[in-house]
């Protein structure tokens, strides 16, 4: 075994230990990036770890790291929806959860009462579940929905949309492929909120001309993440 290969294995093992991941999780390092032609595309397997040096090398060599699509769930498998709220959104969360549970697997990220809490903690929990693939979609509720939307959109891979009627719910999915929905419990009633959730979850991404624009959103994120 060459010294270079031994160093790569040691770095990979150290990275796995730091991140608490299984040794079977794939790692993309700078050697993988340097192995493809400059200006080309490097597919990244689902759940792969991309090292900081790999991202730097990709930036320097204009290599686009494209994350492979996750496999579609098996027929009959319930999709997972991550659901969260702060104290102001807690009652609406509970009402929405009761409806969702008959059609989806719901992961309740809290809060679990009306005791005062900080919405960023719960918005982050919902967004991270979507970003790492543990949830298909995420829904977060606070007083106005604005702060939670800001938090969720800081998480790479998340496109959060604040929706306040059926039209914005359709637009956010069809045009923007939003994967996190935020709602303002102080701005809309329970009946409307339930309609928005149903429409948002059932509306497919339109693709076509919209796909090019979503790709540009992703490119902006990757530029600053790198």
Q: Looking at the annotation, which residues are catalytic?
A: 175
Two structure tokens written together for 36? 């493809």
Please work out, in degrees rounded to the nearest 5, the angle formed at the alpha carbon of residue 156 by the alpha carbons of 152 and 157: 90
Task: Give the bridge partners for 43, in sequence order.
Answer: 66
Q: 40-78 burial by CB neighbour count: b if 16+ within 10 A, else e?
A: eebebeeebbbbeebbebbeebebebebeeeeeeeeeee
How far apart are the C-alpha atoms of 97 and 51, rounded to whole Å? 37
Question: Is 171 within 8 Å of 184 (Cβ atoms)?
Answer: no
How many helices (DSSP H) and strands (DSSP E) are in the chain? 9, 9
How far apart are the C-alpha atoms of 187 and 205, rounded to whole Å? 26
Two structure tokens written together for 212? 């090019």
Contacts (Cβ under 8 Å, ≥6 apart) of 219: none
Two structure tokens written together for 13? 């093992």
Residue 175: half-sphere exposure toward Cβ, Cα within 13 Å? 7
């Amino acid at each position: 075994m060459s010294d270079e290969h031994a160093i790569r294995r040691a770095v990979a093992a150290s990275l796995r230990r730091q991140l608490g991941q299984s040794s079977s999780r794939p790692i993309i390092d700078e050697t993988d990036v340097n192995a493809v032609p400059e200006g080309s595309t490097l597919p990244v397997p689902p759940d792969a770890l991309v090292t900081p040096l790999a991202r730097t090398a990709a930036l320097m060599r204009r290599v686009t790291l494209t994350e492979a699509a996750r496999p579609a769930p098996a027929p009959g498998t319930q999709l997972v929806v991550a659901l969260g709220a702060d104290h102001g959104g807690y009652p609406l969360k509970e009402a929405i959860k009761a409806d969702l549970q008959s059609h989806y697997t719901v992961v309740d990220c809290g809060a679990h009462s009306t005791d005062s809490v900080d919405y960023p903690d719960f918005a982050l929990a919902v967004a991270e579940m979507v970003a790492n693939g543990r949830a298909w979609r995420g829904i977060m509720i606070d007083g106005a929905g604005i702060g939670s939307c800001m938090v969720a959109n800081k998480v790479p891979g998340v496109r959060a949309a604040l929706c306040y009627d059926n039209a914005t719910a359709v637009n956010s999915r069809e045009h923007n492929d939003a994967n996190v929905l935020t709602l303002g419990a102080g701005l809309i009633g329970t009946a409307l909120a339930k309609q928005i959730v149903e429409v948002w979850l059932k509306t497919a991404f339109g693709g076509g001309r919209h796909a090019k624009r979503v790709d540009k959103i992703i490119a902006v994120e990757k530029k600053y993440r790198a």
